[in-house]
Amino acid sequence: MRILLKISLIIFCCATVSSCMRRTRRKDVGNFTFSFAAYYGDNMVLQKAPQAATVWGYGEEVGSDVVVTRSDHEAVITTVTEQNTWSVKLPPIKETNSTYTITAKSQNKSITLKNVLFGDIWICSGQSNMVFTLDMANNAQAEMQEAKNYSHIRVFTASQETSDTPLTDLKGVAEPWSIPSQDTVGHKPWTYFSAVCWLYGKLLYQNRGYPIGLITSAWGGTAIELWSSANALAKCGIKEGKQENLTLTHSSLWNAMMAPFTRLTIYGVVWYQGEANAGSPDTYNCTFPEMIADWRKQFTTNSDGQTNSLFPFGFVQVKPTTDNWIKVMYTSSIQQLEPVMFAILI
Ligand SMILES: *[C@@H]1O[C@H](CO)[C@@H](O)[C@H](O)[C@H]1NC(C)=O
Ligand SMILES: *[C@@H]1O[C@H](CO)[C@@H](O)[C@H](O)[C@H]1NC(C)=O
Ligand SMILES: *[C@@H]1O[C@H](CO)[C@@H](O)[C@H](O)[C@H]1NC(C)=O
Ligand SMILES: *[C@@H]1O[C@H](CO)[C@@H](O)[C@H](O)[C@H]1NC(C)=O
Ligand SMILES: *[C@@H]1O[C@H](CO)[C@@H](O)[C@H](O)[C@H]1NC(C)=O
Ligand SMILES: *[C@@H]1O[C@H](CO)[C@@H](O)[C@H](O)[C@H]1NC(C)=O
């Protein structure tokens, strides 16, 4: 399936965009205050049926009960594990236009997620082409003004962080779950919200007619090696290393900006990356399919089977202005990984 995005995006080369994101929340290691994990919040979208949405968080006392209730349904009970975390799967719910309140109660405390919708969750990742914000895109003023008309799309942006080991939760949130408005989708250049992610989500919403949750977790100038787990890289014979010109080590963004999301039930991923690897297309034809296969495996495993093991993975093929770029993005190996969707810049 080809989805031609209704945008003409400027193509710009591997600009490294330093993180200028506002950090609104941070979960420090060892702080087990009864709470939800960092990417749960008011106004969020949780994955609709047929999958069950996962909800997890932290608890102070190992072995104590946590009771989770959705406004339309009786309670689901779980206990705090040795890792001081708890997790539940909510009963699958068909898309509606209703909003729900989700409450988690421990012995001492009650925490809530308000104004929650059920629909499809998409993660948008890649390099600067994905970070590129709506306020910088063509027709930005009209797009930003119109954003408030899409109150059933909700947006979230992860902070740009790195880690040497895979994390279970985000270190920071740049933009908590937000209802679209001029500010929340058009905040500031290079902050939030991703133009490609927003326009893709809007198109989906117009076609599907049910809530869409959009998560952007992307970083300018980054090579695929940073977004791939050590296992995925090993399949291509790649060991530890650093990206040339960036001080970031292999797997560091997978560890800090993607692995944490694997416990969340999601619908699919869109990916807009490639230029940072334009110099080595013959490596990319291994790293790209291996990364997709690895993400699919890890999202499915860590959501306890809820995220589909063949979830859709969409990507944009960078305009073939050089011989390398076209080889980078579309290779025969990727076709074996259906369902993939791709758009070509013309
Ligand atoms: C621990 O986490 C909770 C919830 O995220 C936060 O409100 C609290 O300030 C944190 N406490 C410390 C000491 O960091
Ligand atoms: C939700 O609202 C949208 C837009 O008004 C509409 O197209 C859709 O049919 C509604 N869905 C349900 C399940 O009511
Ligand atoms: C409730 O609070 C008490 C006193 O602060 C504490 O000892 C206990 O561990 C808490 N219980 C839970 C389940 O967090
Ligand atoms: C947005 O909604 C308002 C009413 O709330 C309507 O007047 C306007 O035409 C809509 N704009 C677009 C672009 O759909
Ligand atoms: C790294 O920087 C040097 C000097 O600016 C440049 O010539 C080279 O092409 C860069 N390498 C990559 C992979 O971007
Ligand atoms: C990648 O490209 C190289 C050079 O064209 C080729 O030898 C190799 O078999 C390709 N690998 C895959 C996985 O397609």
**Judgement on whether residues 159 and 297 belong to the same structural domain of the protein:** yes
Tokens of 234: 């090993």
61: CA distance to ligand 4 center in Å? 50
Q: What is the mean pLDDT of residues 111-130?
A: 97
**Judgement on whether residues 199 and 255 belong to the same structural domain of the protein:** yes
Question: What is the structure's pLDDT at 284?
Answer: 87
**Judgement on whether residues 161 and 98 belong to the same structural domain of the protein:** no
Q: Which residue's CA is minimally distant from atom 6 of ligand 5?
A: 245
Residue 18 burial (C-beta neighbours within 10 Å; 0-12, 13-18, 19+): exposed
Question: What is the structure's pLDDT at 330?
Answer: 55
Domain count, the chain: 2
**Judgement on whether residues 208 and 267 belong to the same structural domain of the protein:** yes
Look up the CATH number of the domain holding residue 315. Answer: 3.40.50
Question: What is the structure's pLDDT at 277?
Answer: 87
Q: Which of 2-11, 97-106, 224-233, 260-269 has the lowest mean pLDDT?
A: 2-11
Q: Which residue's CA is minimally distant from atom 7 of ligand 5?
A: 245
Question: What is the structure's pLDDT at 95?
Answer: 79
Distances (CA, A) of 317 to 130, 202, 204, 228, 248: 12, 20, 19, 19, 24
Domain extent at residue 263: 2-22+119-344
306: CA distance to ligand 5 center in Å? 42
**Judgement on whether residues 88 and 163 belong to the same structural domain of the protein:** no
Q: Tens digit of pLDDT for each residue in 15-57?
A: 223 332 333 333 444 568 999 999 999 999 999 999 999 999 9
**Judgement on whether residues 62 and 162 belong to the same structural domain of the protein:** no
The residue type at 225? E
Pocket flag, ligand 1, residue 28 (CB < 6 Å): yes
**pLDDT tier, 12 (very low <50, low <70, confident <90, very high otherwise):** very low
Q: What is the mean pLDDT of residues 62-89?
A: 93
Question: What is the structure's pLDDT at 3?
Answer: 34
Q: Tens digit of pLDDT for each residue in 227-280?
A: 999 999 999 999 888 887 788 999 999 999 999 999 999 999 999 998 888 878
**Judgement on whether residues 236 and 171 belong to the same structural domain of the protein:** yes
Look up the CATH number of the domain holding residue 99. Answer: 2.60.40.10
User: Is the N-terminal amide bond of 118 cis, ω within 30° of 0?
Assistant: no
- 56, 84, 116 — which closes off a domain? 116
**Judgement on whether residues 273 and 321 belong to the same structural domain of the protein:** yes
**Judgement on whether residues 77 and 108 belong to the same structural domain of the protein:** yes
**Judgement on whether residues 182 and 62 belong to the same structural domain of the protein:** no
Share the mean pLDDT of the chain. 86
**Judgement on whether residues 207 and 300 belong to the same structural domain of the protein:** yes
